[in-house]
């Protein structure tokens, strides 16, 4: 019996590095993950996909995952862009966007004239020297610069190698402007809490499964959830000696985690 | 009598934002600066140009300034790339370079095969998404990543606006790899000390004049020099309420500083 797997009613799954490895042509599923998602759904456990993905609208993102064979729908996905849109509306913020072209439609209902904040996501190829200078100039021109970052990931793995994530570019702008960004997405507590609320499961009965020791595991644990790190995606052996974060368990991959959890249910 | 100008034997001048504003076509001299440099030289004061410029070799940089009318020679310039080359040789480091194309010749005598460190300078248009990912992969692949940064400036002013400086990109790589860069150039103490040694003037008898409150003023003061901030270049009024650094005096521009100093000599 694995103690960490007891009394669970809901699972939160990170997507990139847990379900699939992203990359050109949409990426490839991680072995056993398609079946693992189906088994979770068949078990009656509550399930939520909790991603910092900001390279596409949720619609496009879900379509891609469906194409890889996953049983997933838009309504099951918690992602940073819609959370950011709620904040922008609440605070009358008009963003200058430094995001991936494919994410722009998520901000369709938002006034973007005469910007009074910058929203940065994983802009990938849009992280050009010119675009970074432009976002910097918008920020430095404000009396009190407001930078909203869709996640704070350091890097992620695509099929052709590791790529810098939004957090690195967030740090560049933070340093240049001497400010601190507001992070929407993992590991922000509010982001996990909204995913739990959408599932209707308290943190004590939920397990987060991710490949990111800080953003997935550390963030979820700070909300009172258990958290597993998978040894897929961006996992590196040195994560196991992380100075601050210790997962409730390591599993080789999602399929193995689901095996153990479903034995307890 | 200005107390800050007493008993001075040597001046260290920052270049960009003090002598000229850089930009397309080479930039433009700041009013009065060409004459101010000539007057310093005629006065018999020791003079050193102390720059974090890494967009060109010293030869090209000096040629550009001569073209703008300045009396300056390569032997009078203290710059980060030669200082970095000394460190690379001393420690048997073979760099992967993320620098401006025009700086590459400074590293001509350095072995760059099978890199065991990354050197980052103000790469400007070379700060592409692909190049940043590549430098990151080289670093993250090392057991103990070594990142040497030619300066840690936040931003600078060109004729077409503010640009992110090397410090911002240094921070991105530091964050992604969870490391701290070694900074060569201002505000590193060793850099100012080598400029003073080249002049043969002790810090108590030297004044640094710059537009950067942290890298010029703060760095020089930490070496025991006096330091002035000019209200040209990247100067912003809010610098005058900086929480940590207070210049010995503000001057509107280099010409005004030289007026005051030469009255005391």
pLDDT per residue as tens digits for the range A203-225: 999 999 999 999 999 999 999 99
Of B76 and B194, more confident: B76
Three-state SS sequence of B27-79:
CEECCCHHHHHHHHHHHCCEEEEECCCCCCCHHHHHHHHHHCCCCCCHHHEEC
The answer to whether B132 faces chain A, any CB pair under 8 Å, is: yes
Q: Residue A1: which pLDDT band, with cuts at 50, 70 and 90?
A: low
d(CA B205, CA A197): 66
For all residues of chain A together, what is the average pLDDT?
A: 95
Please check whether residue B148 is in contact with residue B117, taking contact to mean a CB–CB distance below 8 angstroms.
yes
Express each pLDDT in B25-47 by its tens digit: 789 999 999 999 999 999 999 99
Give pLDDT, residue A43.
96
The answer to whether A146 faces chain B, any CB pair under 8 Å, is: no
Tokens of B35: 């004459």
Give pLDDT, residue A120.
98
Give the phi and the psi of residue B144 in degrees, each rounded to 5.
Answer: -125, 95
d(CA A202, CA A119): 31
Q: Residue B1: which pLDDT band, with cuts at 50, 70 and 90?
A: low
Residue A91: CB partners within 8 Å, gap ≥ 6?
none
| CA distance to partner chain A, nearest, from residue B199 (Å) | 32
Mutate to test the interface with B, among A175, A214, A218, A238 (most CBs of B within 10 A): A175
Tell which residue, B157, B202, B162, has the closest CA to residue B14: B157
Express each pLDDT in A77-120 by its tens digit: 999 999 999 899 999 999 999 999 999 999 999 999 999 999 99
d(CA B175, CA B178): 5
Provide ipTM, 2 decimals.
0.83
Residue A232 half-sphere exposure, CB side, CA atoms within 13 Å?
A: 27
The answer to pTM > 0.80 is yes
The answer to whether A158 faces chain B, any CB pair under 8 Å, is: no
Express each pLDDT in A144-188 by its tens digit: 999 999 999 999 888 888 999 999 999 999 999 999 999 999 999
| CA distance to partner chain A, nearest, from residue B12 (Å) | 25
d(CA A43, CA A86): 33
Express each pLDDT in B174-218 by its tens digit: 999 999 999 999 999 989 998 999 999 999 999 999 999 999 999
Which residue's structure tokens are 């900086």? B242
- Residue A100 sits at the vertex; the CA angle it makes with A94 and A104, to the nearest 5 degrees, is 45
pLDDT reading at A35 higher than 80? yes
pLDDT reading at A236 higher than 80? yes
Q: Which of B127, B136, B172 sits opposite A171 (nearest CB)?
A: B172
- Average pLDDT of A226-248? 96
Query: What strands lie across the sheet with B182-184, from one edge to the other?
Result: B95-98, B117-120, B147-150, B182-184
d(CA A97, CA A148): 10
Give pLDDT, residue B26.
81
A132 neighbourhood in chain B, CB within 8 Å: 127, 164, 168
The answer to whether A168 faces chain B, any CB pair under 8 Å, is: yes
């Amino acid at each position: 019996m694995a103690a960490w797997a007891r009394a669970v009613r809901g699972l939160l799954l990170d997507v990139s590095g847990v379900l699939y490895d992203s990359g050109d042509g949409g990426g490839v599923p991680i072995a056993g993950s398609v079946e693992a998602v189906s088994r979770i759904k068949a078990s009656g456990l509550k399930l939520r996909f909790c991603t910092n993905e900001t390279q596409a609208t949720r619609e496009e993102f879900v379509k891609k995952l469906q194409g890889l064979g996953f049983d997933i729908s838009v309504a099951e996905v918690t992602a940073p862009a819609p959370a950011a849109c709620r904040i922008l509306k609440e605070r009358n913020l008009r963003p200058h966007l430094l995001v991936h072209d494919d994410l722009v439609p998520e901000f369709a209902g938002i006034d973007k004239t005469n910007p009074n904040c910058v929203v940065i996501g994983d802009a990938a190829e849009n992280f050009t020297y010119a675009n970074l200078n432009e976002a910097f100039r918008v920020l430095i021109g404000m009396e009190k610069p407001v930078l909203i970052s869709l996640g704070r990931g350091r890097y992620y793995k695509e099929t052709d190698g590791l790529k810098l994530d939004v957090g690195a570019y967030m740090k560049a702008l933070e340093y240049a402007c001497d400010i601190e960004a507001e992070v929407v997405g993992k590991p922000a507590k509010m982001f996990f809490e909204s995913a739990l609320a959408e599932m209707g499961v308290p943190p004590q009965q939920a397990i987060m499964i991710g490949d990111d020791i800080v953003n997935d595991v550390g963030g979820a644990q700070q909300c009172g959830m258990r958290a597993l790190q998978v040894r897929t995606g961006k996992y590196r052996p040195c994560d196991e000696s992380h100075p601050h974060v210790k997962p409730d368990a390591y599993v080789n991959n999602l399929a193995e985690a689901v095996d153990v959890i479903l034995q307890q249910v």
